[in-house]
Amino acid sequence: PDPWPVTHTLSRLGIPASDAVVVGDMPFDIKMGMDAGCRTVGVSYGNSTVSNLIEAGANRVINSISLLPDLEL
């Protein structure tokens, strides 16, 4: 997947990729975030499985978006 949507958005906002987290429910999302240089969080309640998200390289997998603010990445 092309990381351009992430890198372009971060560039426009002046945010370094190392300070950003990409959250997604598909391995595609995780790969895009990794290719953009971001940390990644998979969500288990979407269209993929936890094992697929882990296999894709997600730094963490959560089962509720409410857990995101307290994650240590």
Q: pLDDT 10s digit of each residue in the chain, 73 long?
A: 999 999 999 999 999 999 999 999 999 999 999 999 999 999 999 999 999 999 999 999 999 999 999 999 8
In a domain, 25, yes or no: yes
pLDDT at 35: 99
What CATH code is carried by the domain that includes residue 38? Answer: 3.40.50.1000
In a domain, 14, yes or no: yes
Q: How far apart are CA 25 and CA 47, in angstroms?
A: 6
pLDDT at 37: 99
pLDDT at 11: 99
Question: Count of domains in the chain?
Answer: 1
Domain that holds residue 36: 4-65
pLDDT at 49: 97
Rounded to two decimals, what is the model's pTM?
0.94
In a domain, 72, yes or no: no
In a domain, 71, yes or no: no
In a domain, 31, yes or no: yes
